[in-house]
Structure 1
Amino acid sequence: MRLLAGESYWPDESALIDDYVRLNPTRNRDLDMLPLLAFLNEDRVRSKLPDEKINPRPTFHYRLPDMRLGDPDWSLAKEWNRWVAVERLAADAARLAATCRAYLAHEGGREDWAVRTEGLEVA
């Protein structure tokens, strides 16, 4: 099994699809790349996930978690700001590389990483 390692991981399309499906064999993610990957190579994705309901399209599928539209105290702002943070990180190659290195060096669990990164400046 190939390890996925930070800056040295630059797969071609087929390897990216294979790795993504192997590590994320579900649509139950905040940011679901399966619609995009199926748009790029539907046969490859469906051969690995034949029973998943995936509509191929040239876009990411971002699910807004915990939407409480009937709650007057709920706001879309937190989720929108989270998405903006992802977009800004993706657009800043140096910061993305530094974040990848920090994550790979991190020894705690996912929850520990979330606590560590919560509230970081989204410059």
Structure 2
Amino acid sequence: MTDIPSPRDLAGTYFDCWRLRDFADLAAHLADDVAFDGPLASLRGREDCLEGLVGLARATTHLEVERRLADEEDVMTWFSLGVGGSEPTPVVNWCHVEGGRIRAIRVTFDPRGMLAAG
């Protein structure tokens, strides 16, 4: 019997890998056709999503998870994110999980501070 991680655990892995800049573990938890949508990018597929996250992780100067809410298929994570020289920006990340893998990621935030600092 294979243990299937809960959506809450998957979201924790997502943010732990980002914080540690180590995405080897995360790849196995993303669906092949994972979709990412946010104010600055829309990406499709595991490889493109990982590439985008690796690039963002390189620029991340601050990442603090403040709250996480989860149910059977969805996780909302409220966190603050600093990129480059920007002040930390409040962000909400929604991960949708199907079959034990992250199938969709949507983020929303006001990108003006990040764009001005970049």
Question: What TM-score results when the alignment is normalised by the length of structure 2?
Answer: 0.29
Asked which structure has the greater RCO (Cα within 8 Å, sep 6+), the reply is 2
Larger Rg: 1
Q: Considering fraction of residues, name the structure with more strand.
A: 2
